[in-house]
Structure 1
Amino acid sequence: MAAGSDTYSADEGTLYDHSEDGSYSRGRPSGDGSELELDILESEDERERLLTESGGKTGLFGKKSVKIGKWNAKKSKDTTKAARNGESRGLMYDTEEGVGASDQSLSTGSSESDATRLLATAAQRKARRKRICRRVAIYAAIVALFLALLFIAYRLSKPSRKNATATMLSNGTSLFPPTTILISLDGFRADFLYRGLTPTLNEFVKNGISPKYMLPSFPSVTFPNHYTMATGLYPEAHGIVGNTFWDPALKKEFYYTDPDKSLQPFWWGGEPMWVTAERQKARAAVHMWPGSEAHISHIEPAYVDKFNGSEALPLKVDRILGLLDLPGPLDVAAKADQPRPQLIAAYVPNVDGDGHKYGPNSTEIRQTIKDADGMLASILHGLEERNLTEIVNVIVVSDHGMATTDVSRLIQLEDLVDPNELSHIDGWPLYGLRPKKIEDLDRLHQQLVEKARSNPNIDVYLRDKDMPERYHFSKNERIAPLWIVPKTGWAIVTKDEFDVEKGKETGEVYHPRGLHGYDFEHPLMRAIFVARGPSFPHKANSRVEPFRNTELYNIVCDSIGVEPMPNNGTLRLPLKPVGLHTDPETPPDVTPPDPVETPSSFLATSVMTSFASLAASASGLEDPISSFLDGPMSSAQELSSTPSSTTSSTPPASSTAESWWEWLTHKADNMEEWVDEFLKSHVPGKADPKATAA
């Protein structure tokens, strides 16, 4: 078509562009409009529709709409010409999806054309919304992925979880994450290692790391100390302040041997190691450990074995090794309901039981100590057979020691205080007193202080006034307000339990023959700690300084790669040795005197020493005391020359293994020989007749 053959309005000139080669229609090229241009066209159409209506109806301004027939006529001519020339023209408008209007529907005044344009516009808007939604979803996914990677990087980089990503170790058949066996030998006194009865434990010390002893917590009895080892908290912090005690808030009594009075979770504060492990996805098995059946924090270990005091030691060995034989988490045979634990905590009551029954120096306890050592030998042998010696950590501990009792070291409670004035008596062998009337507390305290002046074998404390700070035994209402703490080896009894005067007259034997619960720093109360395994990469026979059993919780948690809860301990792995047990500066192995020296013994020693001094001055002998005491000052003399303290009953350790009575007997024999020599030399007629005859 020749240019200028038709006349177009100015507005139409903005919509149509004539092409010389005829490859384009009168409208815009098909599929070539940008979104901005489409928006302009849509706005133009909308404006034209508002100004005019088809059929000559009244428009926006109340006038008859003007029909624009010139554009339709022209379009008809173009269509006819295109048909005549055999050329196919493109649609006037192309939508984003390729949908356009037919030539016959392009009339401006047609309602069908308007509907088509509106549908095209709606489709375009819908498509744009879809694109926006897709982009938002993609951006959100990218942000979420970035945050997830950031969180993973943070958890992996936490310095406190040093062992969390530790490489699993293989024994040749299975992979093991950090795994620890913890064994508690209840009542195993530290110096039991020096009796020649424990070859396995002594060899274990040589191959591992240990202090000379571990200190228990006060009071040095089983339940408070086992739960302290499990939580790293002092008894005043975790709430198990004795084997027996009264809770004034709950108005309930805790009694350790009665499940109805001890296995409720409200008694047990803090978080024990098996709950810490399970909460951090490290499975735990607990074999009879005190408190393990109490459903603490309502987080149950994978395995809990109920207490059975008569269980044979070989069965304990089988149980521990059987748990290690379970398939690991990466093994094909692994079962979700039978996981292999990373922590195995086992309680062994035998030494404590026989120590109470027969005494810590009895013949029977010697065999019990041997049996406990044999149990450890079986466990270590089982680890060796499974190629787990360098893969599984083994920690052996005890909770306290034990002292020998005797009727001569009993104190009648009724001689100290009237039991009728008391509402509750807590603890044993130390006594916590709760007066029926709180206003009687100061009077009863002063009364007991006066009694203690004439009986040096007890200490008296008010919880809120003069309880020694080193005991960490005052910041809990479960601790009675007034306490009588006997010296080590002594016990307080009521007449219902044992009539002291009658027992002395009849020669009745007091039971239990061994007791604990005294000042936690006394040598007879010392416990043990020995460890070996991949979490303890130290020289064999390494020695660390003695520490309190509040440190055990951190050590065990670190050994299995879990983060401990806040507690009263400060030690973390790796431990820091101060040398070897074989170093010259290592303190010697000391067996403390048991029974403990008593003030009456000190008096006897003082009398005999004074007599020897007087005799020496009369005879002119040079240094007769040395012949009587033959050696350095004994522990008894050291104690007799040291002022007594109301905060400690700890005597210096003896350098000899013989008991006080044996020591006193030997010195008496020496004294007798000296008296004979003195009489022979200075009294006429007392010379040896055989010597005279010679």
Structure 2
Amino acid sequence: MSTYAHDEASRVASSDTLSADERTLVDHPETGDEGYGAGRLSSEVSDGDHDILESEDERERLLTQKEGISGLFNKGVKIGKRDRNAPAKSRERKRGHNGETSALMYEMEEGIGVSNSSLSRRSSESDERRLLATASQRKTRRKRVWRRLAIYLSIVVLFLILLFAAYRVSKPAYAKAATVMVSNGTSLFAPTTILISLDGFRADFLYRGLTPTLNKFIEEGISPKYMLPSFPSVTFPNHYTMATGLYPEAHGVVGNTFWDPDLRKDFYYTDPERSMQPYWWGGEPLWVTAERQGVRAAIHMWPGSEVKIDEFEPVYVDKYNGSELLPLKVDRILGLLDLPGAMDPGAMDDQPRPQLIAAYVPNVDSDGHEYGPNSTEIRQTIKNADTMVGNILKGLQERNLTDIVNVVVVSDHGMATTDVSRLVQLEDLIDPAELDHIDGWPHFGLRPKKLSDLERLHKQVLDRAQNMSSLEIYLRDVDMPERYHFSQNERIAPLWIIPKAGWAIVDKSEMDVVEAQKNGDVYHPRGIHGYDHEHPLMRAIFVARGPAFPHKPNSRVEPFQNIELYNVICDSIGITPAPNNGTLRLPLKPVGLHTDPETPPNETPADPVNTPAATPTQAVASLPAPPATTSLVNAASSLPPAALPTPTSSAAPPAESKPAGESLWEWLKHKGETVEEWVEDFLNKHHNPMKEDGEDT
């Protein structure tokens, strides 16, 4: 047997043990192509092979038939010499088909013939169902993708919001505030304080029955009977003391007018060119302290606020406008509170809501100078100021901010009535030709042209003023009272003449005192301040209410000096004060209520003050008091004891003689105003016997 025959026999013998697939690879065809007989044609493979191959091919076709031009390259792919109808047949035999397809496959396997048209129809229906199912699956998958994408985007947006909020909170402007934010229902508020200064508002103005708002404010808040100004008791030094907590000698603004020997320049408060320069203003004012620590500040006309003292400036600065109407001040303050806060939608870095609002109100002071603190005109001015405060408080209530925003109302000093009878001629004390500069007013700081003349001039003034109890004479470096805190600065002149309350010093270029007294001239201004800061006529006010003052309503604290205000305001908005002369800190420590029996009674100091001993310039004899006025005053003694005012409340006008040098007409006019004041005050306080003396209910 040939080798080939032997191999063939071996192959046949072993083929019985091979599987159908294995036999496919080794069986000879009955006829070969070009002598090649090493295997079968692909058309002769088993049904199982067809199922596998055709299923793979059909899956690829279905997946690619809707993918555009890429599907065109897959339609003509064949494996071997497959029958043209093989794809249709194989589609009906694919694994995983529905029940109908499975039945078809069973019939074919049993030898039951199926026509090509029937197969095509069934195959087409099956393809359509398959395509619909695929489209539905794709739609479902698409929805899932979009849903996931929306979730991812929401997470990203939330993360960005949290990141932005964390960034805002991490900034100094919001670091402290974010931990103590309070909502009024529409907005979040960090600790906020409104500070209002009523220039020239004397403490006893509260006892005239003209201030229902401020008296109610006292009942709701905390206050001393009065607050002391600093010496000298004039506007610019005291407003800057309240803003810095420093005595005038420490912050450098030692008067409304003064000379600096180092700068060789003079400071004059009404001239911006000579006053609004940073080298005049020492210390750190409230608005700089706040801005340095990221707390935004708005300053409305406060003296000194227009000066660029530091790199940290208040975000809002309103320049001084003495003619501004009070309702506009109210609108300005409330408008600042209406701005969006740092954490509110629409917050603007260039227009933030301030946490500190300090506003200056000059009206009472200006009318006090022009008409006098006891004039008929000043009564209406006091009422207007009280109404302004009331409108601010009403605006806070409408915004649900009464218990959220602190309100502090203060004044810088009081005021005393002047008169031509209470004037001292400067030339009677010293020759102005020997002086280089005269600082201040109504107190006079004298700078000799020659420093070597200081001792001689001091002795001369003392000798000439020895019979004048209306004057105090001091050397800055020798005997200036320590309580004045008015010696540790070269801007303070070396020699001082300080008149008593109600008195003034004039030189002859301003007024010849002897001639003015003879002629009955009227001295202007009619009201003056700047005297001893502890004099009752110089007393100022302090009243506070809000979350930084969690005390019983109508609480009373001991009187304090205005150097303490800086610390109090800093504490109220949560900032750290710069070094200063004050020691008072929040919370304040009440000593009781204003209604307690041991509370000191309301005190109305005499104004005009009693005339001291005559001065060399008073040459006109006094005239007796007119009987009409005397009888009116004495008539009060016939009233029942319950109706009489207490000695420390609004007492009857003093029955004093006409001051020397004052004309009879001026004296009568003045007495008439005083009596009118007293009668109206008396009726206001005693028409309801249940009222506490001197206070509104």
Aligning the two structures, in what range does the TM-score lie when normalised by the shorter sequence? 0.5 to 0.7
1:655 shift after superposition:
2.2
Question: With structure 1 as the length reference, what TM-score do the two structures score?
Answer: 0.65
CA displacement 1:9-63 (0-9 Å, x = unmatched): xxxxxxxxxxxxxxxxxxxxxxxxxxxxxxxxxxxxxxxxxxxxxxxxxxxxxxx
Q: Pick from 643, 657, 680: which aligns with 2:650? A: 657
CA displacement 1:480-516 (0-9 Å, x = unmatched): 0000000110000111111111111111100000000
Q: 1:529 corresponds to which residue?
A: 542
Q: Pick from 435, 458, 470: which aligns with 1:457? A: 470
CA displacement 1:370-409 (0-9 Å, x = unmatched): 0000000100000000000000000000000000000000
Q: 2:400 corresponds to which residue?
A: 387
Equivalent residues of 2:178, 2:190 under 8 A apart: no
Distance 1:518 1:654, change over 3 A: farther
Is residue 584 of structure 1 aligned with residue 577 of structure 2?
A: no
Match for 1:514: what amino acid? G
Any stretches of 5+ residues in structure 1 without a counterpart? Answer: 1-151, 603-626, 632-652, 666-694
Match for 1:464: what amino acid? D
CA displacement 1:85-131 (0-9 Å, x = unmatched): xxxxxxxxxxxxxxxxxxxxxxxxxxxxxxxxxxxxxxxxxxxxxxx
CA displacement 1:293-319 (0-9 Å, x = unmatched): 011113210000000000000000000
Secondary structure of 2:655's partner? helix
CA displacement 1:641-694 (0-9 Å, x = unmatched): xxxxxxxxxxxx9625346643669xxxxxxxxxxxxxxxxxxxxxxxxxxxxx
CA displacement 1:344-368 (0-9 Å, x = unmatched): 0000000000000000000000000
Q: 1:57 corresponds to which residue?
A: none
Secondary structure of 2:194's partner? strand
Equivalent residues of 1:412, 1:494 under 8 A apart: yes
Match for 1:493: what amino acid? V
Q: Pick from 441, 456, 460: which aligns with 1:447? A: 460
Secondary structure of 1:308's partner? coil
Q: 2:206 corresponds to which residue?
A: 193
Q: 1:329 corresponds to which residue?
A: 342
Distance 1:362 1:520, change over 3 A: same
Distance 1:164 1:384, change over 3 A: closer
In 2, Cα distance between equivalents of 1:362 and 1:169:
45
Is residue 280 of structure 1 aligned with residue 293 of structure 2?
A: yes
Is residue 472 of structure 1 aligned with residue 465 of structure 2?
A: no
Equivalent residues of 2:251, 2:282 under 8 A apart: yes
Equivalent residues of 2:416, 2:528 under 8 A apart: yes
Q: Pick from 611, 615, 637: which aligns with 1:598? A: 611
Q: 2:222 corresponds to which residue?
A: 209
CA displacement 1:196-254 (0-9 Å, x = unmatched): 00000000000000000000000000000000000000000000000000000000000
Q: Pick from 572, 575, 579: which aligns with 1:566? A: 579
In 1, Cα distance between equivalents of 2:258 and 2:401:
43
Match for 1:662: what amino acid? A
Distance 1:460 1:581, change over 3 A: same
In 2, Cα distance between equivalents of 1:445 and 1:427:
18
Give the 5 Å matches for 1:202-351: 202-351=215-364
Q: Pick from 553, 559, 579: which aligns with 1:540? A: 553
1:599 shift after superposition:
2.4
In 1, Cα distance between equivalents of 2:289 and 2:197:
19
In 1, Cα distance between equivalents of 2:473 and 2:652:
28
In 2, Cα distance between equivalents of 1:529 and 1:661:
29
In 1, Cα distance between equivalents of 2:177 and 2:585:
15
In 2, Cα distance between equivalents of 1:601 and 1:270:
43
Q: Pick from 490, 502, 512: which aligns with 2:503? A: 490
Secondary structure of 1:393's partner? strand
Q: 1:181 corresponds to which residue?
A: 194
1:479 shift after superposition:
0.2
In 1, Cα distance between equivalents of 2:399 and 2:363:
27
Q: 1:617 corresponds to which residue?
A: none
Question: With structure 2 as the length reference, what TM-score do the two structures score?
Answer: 0.64
In 1, Cα distance between equivalents of 2:580 and 2:342:
30
1:163 shift after superposition:
7.0
In 1, Cα distance between equivalents of 2:552 and 2:176:
20
Q: 2:157 corresponds to which residue?
A: none
CA displacement 1:597-645 (0-9 Å, x = unmatched): 122499xxxxxxxxxxxxxxxxxxxxxxxx99989xxxxxxxxxxxxxx
Equivalent residues of 1:216, 1:525 under 8 A apart: yes
Secondary structure of 1:184's partner? strand
Q: 1:101 corresponds to which residue?
A: none
In 1, Cα distance between equivalents of 2:531 and 2:489:
19
In 1, Cα distance between equivalents of 2:500 and 2:604:
18
Q: 2:34 corresponds to which residue?
A: none
Secondary structure of 1:245's partner? strand
Secondary structure of 1:326's partner? coil
Secondary structure of 2:553's partner? coil
Give the 5 Å matches for 1:15-164: none
Equivalent residues of 1:593, 1:657 under 8 A apart: no
The two structures, once aligned, show a CA RMSD in angstroms of 2.4
In 2, Cα distance between equivalents of 1:533 and 1:437:
55
In 2, Cα distance between equivalents of 1:596 and 1:162:
54
In 1, Cα distance between equivalents of 2:264 and 2:652:
45
In 2, Cα distance between equivalents of 1:247 and 1:544:
38
Equivalent residues of 1:402, 1:516 under 8 A apart: yes
1:452 shift after superposition:
2.1
Any stretches of 5+ residues in structure 2 without a counterpart? Answer: 1-165, 616-633, 639-645, 659-697
Q: 1:691 corresponds to which residue?
A: none
In 2, Cα distance between equivalents of 1:162 and 1:204:
32
Q: 2:451 corresponds to which residue?
A: 438
In 2, Cα distance between equivalents of 1:162 and 1:334:
16
In 1, Cα distance between equivalents of 2:540 and 2:460:
35
Q: 1:554 corresponds to which residue?
A: 567
In 1, Cα distance between equivalents of 2:271 and 2:582:
30
Is residue 425 of structure 1 aligned with residue 438 of structure 2?
A: yes
Equivalent residues of 1:245, 1:254 under 8 A apart: yes
Is residue 406 of structure 1 aligned with residue 456 of structure 2?
A: no
In 2, Cα distance between equivalents of 1:164 and 1:546:
31
In 2, Cα distance between equivalents of 1:629 and 1:199:
27
Secondary structure of 1:662's partner? coil
The structure whose Rg is larger is 2
Q: Pick from 504, 515, 527: which aligns with 1:502? A: 515
1:165 shift after superposition:
6.4
In 2, Cα distance between equivalents of 1:295 and 1:333:
29
Q: 2:375 corresponds to which residue?
A: 362
Q: 2:42 corresponds to which residue?
A: none
Equivalent residues of 1:178, 1:342 under 8 A apart: yes
Identical positions, percent: 73
In 1, Cα distance between equivalents of 2:456 and 2:585:
47
Match for 2:447: what amino acid? R
1:162 shift after superposition:
13
Match for 1:417: what amino acid? I
Secondary structure of 1:298's partner? coil
Secondary structure of 1:254's partner? strand
In 2, Cα distance between equivalents of 1:543 and 1:576:
9
